[in-house]
Structure 1
């Protein structure tokens, strides 16, 4: 797992840090039985971590919205990411302990999953988000595409990560969506 810039990490207390250390964030396991064992081992620490984070409102609202708000879902399916899990039979605890929830948890905790140098380069292109306007988005979207090519990143795995990074840096959903689509 690539961990980006520390400034995008949420603050964890000691108990939460221990719970994060007990969670296997890998999505790919060499054998099915290893993946299933990881799923079983993740359930309790994952739910305890989410409860603790929720109790103290530690997850930034825009990161929670990425999970719960339909406007952050870009595929052909309608509804939020959480709604799609529900349509596939995973609601409540089942959704949160499902192995495919791990990338959302990872985003809640650490922000976008991009190399630190890529994140710094992207953030330098944004500058101060308070001064970022609609006329700046075409340039940023083109620069993001250049960053992807320059660092030899795969488009399908990074477009969502740049979208998340744009939102974490204070860009509007509309501007962040333009960054995602331009790659």
Structure 2
């Protein structure tokens, strides 16, 4: 089997004092699973690695189980290979080169998303904020940042994401993960 580069996106860790997963402990945990070239980025749950076994879904399940065993709590994990990460950057519907990283975010989903899932959200009501869908991601333009975004609050309502794992990253992190998996 061919060795591929991946990024693991851990959801909801190291936020507000709960679900602490130190990156210094995460790296050897991933290496212990037989993953190569393990690196972490920031403290918000981003790791890159190479693997010659599994696929995105099975690797995500394997990492989630290992994290729960090691740290004693469940953590949702989304895994994307380099090609998937790069396609998200290449398909960005907003002028990323002209925006600050805090203004543009990508929410990665564990499965496909369709416009019908978000039909109840009227982007015009939140202008100038806006969003667009990709196959397994949502692009959010929030000119004042995610923390002040009323549209982000609407898009993260539990009913809209039902049945899917979702985790967001700012544009700087999105681009950095492409770089890290492309090396």
Classify the TM-score, shorter chain: 0.3 to 0.5
TM-score by length of 2: 0.35
Query: Whose strand proportion is higher, 1 or 2?
Result: 2
TM-score by length of 1: 0.35
Query: Whose helix proportion is higher, 1 or 2?
Result: 1
